[in-house]
Amino acid sequence: MTPTMLIRGLFCFLVCAPGCVGSRPVPRPAPVPEPDPPPTVPPTTTACGRLKLFDSDGDGISNSVEDTNAARRYADLQTGRCDPDPTRPTGTPHSGQLSGALNLPDDGDGYVHFLGSDSADQDDWGSLQTLTCIEQVGRQLRENNLLLNVGDISLRGGGHFPPHASHQNGLDIDLRYIRKDRRSVPLDLRIEPQAYDADATKLVMDAFVKLCPVHIIFVDTDRIQFPIEDTPIFHANGHSNHAHIRLEAPQL
Applying CB under 8 A, the residues found at the interface with other proteins are 92-95, 114, 116-117, 151-152, 159-166, 168, 174, 176, 179, 181, 183, 185-188, 190-192, 195, 215-216, 218, 221-222, 226-230, 232-242, 246, 248
Q: What are phi and psi of 205, to 5 degrees?
A: -65, -45
Nearer to other proteins, 23 or 241 (CB): 241
* Shortest CB 190 distance to other proteins, Å: 4
C-beta of 69: minimal distance to other proteins in Å? 23
Question: 76 or 222: whose CB is closer to other proteins?
Answer: 222
For the CB of residue 105, give the shortest distance to other proteins in the complex, in Å: 19
User: In whole angstroms, what is the distance from residue 201 CA to residue 241 CA?
Assistant: 12
Cβ at position 213, least distance to other proteins in Å: 8
Q: How far is the CB of 154 from other proteins (least distance, A)?
A: 12
Q: Which is nearer to other proteins, 183 or 210 (CB)?
A: 183
Select 45 or 119, whichever has its Cβ closest to other proteins. Answer: 119
Between 64 and 129, CB nearer to other proteins: 129
